[in-house]
Every structure is written in C-alpha cells, then in structure tokens.
Homo-oligomer: A and B are copies of this chain.
C-alpha cells in the first residue's frame, strides 16, 4: 500500500550455501533483498519466516510466495511428497518439505521450483533470456545445475533436469578422480567449485590467469553446454554462479562448443552471434530471488483463477 497500491509478491531463493529472499513487483522491481547462510532446516526456515514477516510489516502483505530451492526436490503437484527435498548431500535437509513448511507459515498462494529454474525464470522475464525460447540457465558454483524453460514454462517431469551430472569424455591427461558423491566423475564432480579447490588448492580467481585450470574447466563446461544444445535446442544460454564470475571462461567455452559441434548445426547463434548466445546473467546475483518473486506472482494468479473461475 505504501507502494501506491501496486501488488507485492515475495520470493525465497533457498540455495545450498545462502538464502536470499525479498519482496517486489510484477515489473521486476526488488524492494528489499535479504541474505543469510543456509544452516540446519529448523533455524533456516524459521529465519526466513521471520524475515518475511518483517518485510510484510514494512511493505504490506504479499499476494503470493515463490520458493526456488536447491534440489533434488519433488515438483510434481500430484506426488505424495510434493515440495520435499530429495537425496541431497545436505543430509539434514533430506525429506524436509520446504513447500509445506514455508507455505503454511505464509498462509497465501505459494509455489515451488528449483533454485536454478528460479534463476532461469528471472533471466527469461527481465534479464538475458528475454525473448529466447527454449532458454537455459546453467549455474556453476558449489554444484552445477540447469533450469530449462520450453514454450515459456519450466521443464519438470521425472523430477527436473539435473544436467550437472552429465558425463563427458575426460580432458587429455586429467586423472583427478572426481568429487561427486553419487557419480564421482560427472561434470559436477570434475568442474564445480569444490573440485577446483581440491585440484589446485584455491578458487579459479586465486590462480594465475594463464593457469591450465581455465582450459580444463572450460573443456568440461563446453561439453555441458554442447550436450544441452543437442538435447534442448535452446535459443539462449546463461552461465551464472560463482565459478562463472571468472569471465575469461566465456570465450573458451564458446570456442569449445563450436569445436565440439563441428559445424553440424549451421545457425548464426553458433557462428558470428555466439557471443550473444552463451552469456553471463543480466540480473547478476538477483536472478534467483527475482525469479522466485515471479513464481510467487504466478502462484497468486493461479490462486485467484482458482477462486474466481
């Protein structure tokens, strides 16, 4: 109401390391944004609920709440465990029903997506993914994940895409065993943040700019992007997350994808326009929370439609 009566929506980006939440409008305005560490489920969920209450006290009640959570998470509304976290390495969170826990405290229309689908929705709505369909947001950080939008909506089905766990041929001479708890040397196990620290004792930005680490990580991320191009035929790909703040990776990945596709797909996006096809996020670190707010807006709209058909 203090905002001239414009409708308010709340969003929670529940990442594996940090939580970001806030409130905003349907036009992508973020009124307030708060951040805290992701701790045990009880502390974290109570902290989020308290924070949302404070924001409601300051800006007025939100019409809908969107949650964008780390996964795997059950997104099938017909499933018994809809909204529950699955087999994550963060064992305290297994079987925690994030949708139910936050939704019941919020009390209004609510919906849930993965964190990376949230970021995809944010970028597709207001960022570097506008007008691109299909569109894919890939995050490369503590883990590697992809949010895939087709015909304007997220792909969910057998859970949701988990493209970080794709396998790729090894880079020549790479004998690192890989750090994925489930697959060992999937792409996440070979190229996510923790594997970089395990391989070279520091983050990419702490290494020499011509350290061979860049080429090796670009090798695996080029395979990841190529696989997604071949399976999903996207019109745009955003690469975000902590590792991708090393912008020097982008030219190497673009060249790697072109090399791997070998000219098979004759499209401008893979030739002269590759620099507009594989890009950094347009919303920076706000893609996830803004996407969650858009998920909340959509939940409110569906909620309204259900009451007034």
Contacts and interface: CB of A to CB of B under 8 A. Distances in A.
B230 A162 contact: yes
A230 B228 CA distance: 10
A158 B265 contact: yes
B233 A157 contact: yes
Interface stretch (A165-173, A200-208, A291-299): A165-173
Contact of A229 (B153, B158, B230): B158
Interface stretch (A29-37, A61-69, A144-152, A279-287): A144-152
B167 A269 contact: no
Interface string A206-241: 000000000000000001001111111111000000
Give the secondary structure class of A's interface: loop
What is the total number of copies of this protein in its complex?
Answer: 2
A179 to B, nearest CB: 14
A105 interface: no
A87 interface: yes
B265 A167 contact: no
Given A163-B230, A231-B232, 10 more contacts: A72-B264, A156-B233, A157-B235, A159-B233, A165-B230, A166-B231, A167-B168, A167-B226, A182-B264, A228-B231
Interface of A: 72, 86-87, 133-134, 146, 148, 150-151, 153, 155-163, 165-170, 182-183, 223, 226-235, 260-267, 269-270
